[in-house]
Amino acid sequence: MTMAAFAPIPRDTHWGAVSVVVGSGIVTAIQIGKTAIATPMLQTDLGLDLTAAGWLTGICAVLGLVGGIPAGTLVARAGDRRILILGLGSIVLGTSIGATAPGYSVLLASRVLEGFGFLLVTVAGPAILNRLVKVGQRDIAIALWSCFMPAGMALVMLFGPLFSDWRTLWGSNAVLVAAAIVTGWAVIPADPARTSASWRRTISDAARVLTSREPVLLAVCFALYSLMFFALFSFLPVLLMERMEIPHDAAGLLSALATGANIIGNVGAGYVLGRSARRSVLLAGAYLIMGLAGIGIFLPIAGNTPTFLFCLLFSGVGGLIPATLISSAPLLAPSAALAPVVIGLVMQGSNLGQVIGPVAFGGVIGTYGWTAAAAIVVIAAMIAAVVAIVISFYGGPNR
């Protein structure tokens, strides 16, 4: 395995390139969130139920279920910038096909291409930051990177209702991602010269990561967070429209505010981790608060305003989790050269939750109503808190 992905850090951090990397993540996240705000339009145009709509979100993560570690090894072999651009290109292709899809099956297939691109971008992004950012500033950079998902979803929740139909939304996003490709190629510094590695060595490295306790537990934590996050935000506009009886554009605005609260938590994580907070305690506390907030969201125990405040709490506190998990990946890697592979494994966990969350919750809500979702959120939160504490038994004082 080459060390090129973690080459010596330059004297001056390329903050312009960091901004482009984060921006690429944001436009990638927009593609994940666009189905949530477009669900009412898709229901009208294609006659979809919530389970089918959930698959349009969850299918994007299917490749990530098995492709995270291979993507990590691909980054180490082919170069992080090249893989980032490849991922964005796959998203452009998938989004363009989706915009002209004659029916649900082709639209679903196009989402697989978008999911492949999402996987590559989310694995290559942290590797680029790790290469370009000085050691003392990496927690800040990773915290900014961790904002990409809520920022992208908030933007599409805010502006999605302005589009007259979902096909126009898809087509506009293809242009947006194409612009990110051009900018990324122009601004992100090229990788250092790379040395080849045999596939036997690559497989050996992947096996080493898979048999390491801490990286696996880290992936489990991300899977449970992703399940909880996407379980709510894949259907939040629909929930608000049904509970509060508000129009589509108002639901989009409130959903954007709730999703944007996650950014506060992500940025806050960079500050807290910089003060040497215990990662296990931070994670466990955030999971438990998310679980309690989930009860207030899904159970009809409060009025409209308190329910929305619970959404803000769920999102804001939950934002502490991704930055903590992603920044922990290099710390828990068996070796520095295996950090991209560990990031790939962690993203596999994220994708697992992203698949299970929308699909399972779409089915549960459609069959039993919104209240049934509360039990799943609480159980996931409790399991995640226990796993976070277990990780501390194998890490250093700040893990």
- Backbone torsion region of residue 79, taken as left when φ is above 0, otherwise alpha when ψ lies between -120 and 50, otherwise beta: left
Between CA 362 and CA 321 the distance in angstroms is 24
Between CA 37 and CA 56 the distance in angstroms is 12
CB 205 within 8 A of CB 199: no
pLDDT confidence of residue 120: 92
pLDDT 10s digits, 79-120:
889 999 999 999 999 999 999 998 899 999 999 999 899 989
pTM exceeds 0.85: no
Between CA 349 and CA 344 the distance in angstroms is 9
CA angle 317, 36, 295 (to 5 degrees): 40
DSSP three-state, residue 166: helix
Q: Residue 194: what are its φ and ψ, rounded to 5°?
A: -110, 150
**Structure token digits, residue 100:** 């002209």
Domains and CATH numbers, the chain: 11-190+197-392 (1.20.1250.20)
pLDDT confidence of residue 6: 36
pLDDT confidence of residue 367: 77
Residue with tokens 């966990």: 349
How many other CB atoms are found less than 10 A from the CB of residue 332? 24
CB 188 within 8 A of CB 84: yes
Between CA 155 and CA 149 the distance in angstroms is 10
Query: Which residues of the chain are modeled with pLDDT < 50?
Result: 1-11, 393-399
Q: Residue 333: what are its φ and ψ, rounded to 5°?
A: -70, 145
How many other CB atoms are found less than 10 A from the CB of residue 139? 20
